[in-house]
């Protein structure tokens, strides 16, 4: 069998990449395997010399790695967009999220608010600042460890409201997804892929990356709480 193409990714894209890797192996004869961890951790590994063929990360983080020469220039491509959603523990009243006023009320009513170390956590902090709630909510924010879903803090009782990528919250036991943030408070994260400069099989890696941007991949991503970048994914 052909040598396996290896990839690195953040946790938000782990479910869709696992499913697509199995499809690519069966349908195209290209063995692919992705290792997933927190986005900050993946970027650190790459900077420290981790060897792999592909990388899928938040677009901003990937662009930084490309500027530093860790990703082959001209190989990056946008793949999927993920919405940040709110979630609560199963069995508690579900807050309304139809307007900015609803969101403010939900934030103010929460004793502990879980977020991630990734782009969704950064965007949430910026949103809280725009809503002029940073001083009120600052000590209520609980950041999940890198690679740990913010929703796990709901299930364990360490938070009563969480915000993270839909793909990371949708299948967690003991967690109810309330929905995306309303109107101008909505947070989208773009995830892109690229070929790592350390790849020993850059041509094969490009083939896999093209398949990750295919219509089949878009449909898989939609089922996993994401949509294709630049399209509906239908």
Q: Between β-strands 5-10 and 54-58, what pairing exists: parallel, antiparallel or unpaired? A: parallel
Number of Cβ atoms within 10 Å of the Cβ of 227: 18
- Model's pTM, two decimal places? 0.84
User: Is residue 130 in some structural domain?
Assistant: yes
Number of Cβ atoms within 10 Å of the Cβ of 43: 23
Kindly tell me the number of DSSP H helices and DSSP E strands found in the chain.
10, 10
Q: Are residues 86 and 105 in the same domain?
A: yes
Q: Which domain holds residue 52?
A: 5-81+190-228
Q: Is 231 helix (H, G, I), strand (E, B) or coil?
A: coil
Q: Final residue of a domain: which of 168, 185, 202?
A: 185
Q: Note the pLDDT of residue 224.
A: 87
Q: Are residues 96 and 147 in the same domain?
A: yes
Q: Note the pLDDT of residue 64.
A: 96
Question: Which helix (H) or strand (E) covers residue 63, if one does?
Answer: helix 59-67
User: Is residue 234 in some structural domain?
Assistant: no
Q: Are residues 131 and 164 in the same domain?
A: yes
Q: Note the pLDDT of residue 231.
A: 54
User: Is residue 134 in some structural domain?
Assistant: yes
User: Is residue 233 in some structural domain?
Assistant: no
Q: Note the pLDDT of residue 168.
A: 85
The pLDDT profile of the chain, 234 residues, written as one tens digit per residue, is 578 999 999 988 999 999 999 999 999 999 999 999 988 899 999 999 999 999 999 999 999 999 999 999 999 999 999 999 999 999 999 999 999 999 999 999 999 999 988 788 889 999 999 999 999 998 999 998 877 888 899 988 999 999 998 888 888 899 999 999 999 999 998 999 999 999 999 999 999 999 999 999 999 999 888 999 975 433
User: Is residue 57 in some structural domain?
Assistant: yes
Q: Are residues 67 and 130 in the same domain?
A: no
Q: Are residues 121 and 203 in the same domain?
A: no
Q: Note the pLDDT of residue 171.
A: 82
Q: Specify the number of domains making up the chain.
A: 2
Q: Are residues 199 and 210 in the same domain?
A: yes
| CATH code assigned at 123 | 3.40.190.10
């Amino acid at each position: 069998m052909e040598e396996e193409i290896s990839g690195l990714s953040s946790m938000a894209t782990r479910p869709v990449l696992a499913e697509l890797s199995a499809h690519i192996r069966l349908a195209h004869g290209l063995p692919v395997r992705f290792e997933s961890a927190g986005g900050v951790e993946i970027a650190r590994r790459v900077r420290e010399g981790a060897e792999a063929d592909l990388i899928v990360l938040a677009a901003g983080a990937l662009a930084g790695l490309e500027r530093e020469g860790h990703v082959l220039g001209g190989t990056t491509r946008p793949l999927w967009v993920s919405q940040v959603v709110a979630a609560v523990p199963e069995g508690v009243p579900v807050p309304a999220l139809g307007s900015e006023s609803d969101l403010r009320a939900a934030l103010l009513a929460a004793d502990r608010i879980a977020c991630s170390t990734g782009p969704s956590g950064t965007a949430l902090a910026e949103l809280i600042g725009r809503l002029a709630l940073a001083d009120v909510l600052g000590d209520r924010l609980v950041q999940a460890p890198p690679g740990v879903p913010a929703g796990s803090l709901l299930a364990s009782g360490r938070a009563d409201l969480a915000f993270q990528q839909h793909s990371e919250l949708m299948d967690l036991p003991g967690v109810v997804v309330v929905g995306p943030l309303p109107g101008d408070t909505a947070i989208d994260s773009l995830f892109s892929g690229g070929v790592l400069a350390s790849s020993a099989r850059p041509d094969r890696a490009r083939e896999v990356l093209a398949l990750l941007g295919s219509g089949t991949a878009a449909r898989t991503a939609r089922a996993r709480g994401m949509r294709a970048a630049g399209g509906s994914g239908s």
